[in-house]
Structure 1
Amino acid sequence: MKEYRYKINGNLYKVTVGDIEENQVQVEVNGTPYKVELEKKATPKIKPVMRTASTTPATPPPAVSRPAAPSSKGSIKSPLPGVILDVKVKEGDAVKRGQTLMILEAMKMENDIKSDRDGKVTSIKVSKGESILEGTDLIIIE
C-alpha cells in the first residue's frame, strides 16, 4: 500500500493506493474508498490528429465508479468529493450569480457551492446527507 499527499487548487488530499488486480485498483481519498478502473492502452492503427487547446485531451483520466448521471447543460458540479450538509434553494427558485446554493463538507471543512450564473433552478440532483464524488452534478440552472 502506498500513501501520497496531493495539493490541488489549495486543497490537501491524502491518497492511499491499495491492491491492484488486472486493471482494477483500490484507492482511498481522505478516508473514502473508491474502485478505480485503469484504462488499457490500445495500439493506434492510424496516425493521431494534432489537437488544439480547445479540444479534449487525448488520454482521459482513470474512470471512477460513480452513481451520478451524465452531466447536463446548465449543471453546477461538485468541485470536491464530500457530503452535502445543506441545500439552500429549491426547484423553481430564481438565483443570482454568486448566490450560495448548498453547503458541501469536504476534508472537514464547509464549502459554499455558489451559482456561476443567473437563472432558475430546474432540478436538484442531490439531497442533504448524501455523499458525492468530485464532478457530480448538483443542481441544474437554466
Structure 2
Amino acid sequence: MKNFEFNIQNNTYHVKILSHEGNDIALEVNGTTYSVKLKQEIKKTKTPTLVRAASKRPAEPLKVNPSSSKTKIVAPIPGVVLSIDIKVGDTIKIGDRLLVLEAMKMENNITSEKAGTVTSVNVSVGQQVLQNEIMIELE
C-alpha cells in the first residue's frame, strides 16, 4: 500500500503498510512483518461538496417609466462600479451597456431599456453604490 522511511535516534526504519482493515494493520519494518492493532479507529473526514444550480429565471430588467421624459438608472443591488461605458451627451439605444457593477464577486452589466441622451453620470469608476442609488440620468 504505502512505504515510509523513519529516522529515530539515528536509526533508519523502512516501513511498508501491507493492509489496513478497521483497527488491524499489517506492516513490514526493515523486512520483518508485524500485525498491530490501533487503539482508536481512524475516522475519515467528509468534506461536503457544494454544487449550486443555475438560476431558473432570467435576470430581471431595470424598470423604467416609458411616458416620462427623464429616466433614472438606479443600482439594482449594492456594489462597486467597475467601468462606465458612456459619458454625458452620448446618444444610446435600447440594450446598450451603460456600466458594469460588481456585486457579490460577480460582474453585472447594467443596460438601457430606453433610448435617449445621457444627461448626467452620477458615479465614477471604483465608487461604491447602495441599492436604488441614482447612477445615470437619461432624457
Q: TM-score, normalised by structure 2?
A: 0.50
Q: Which has the larger radius of gyration?
A: 2
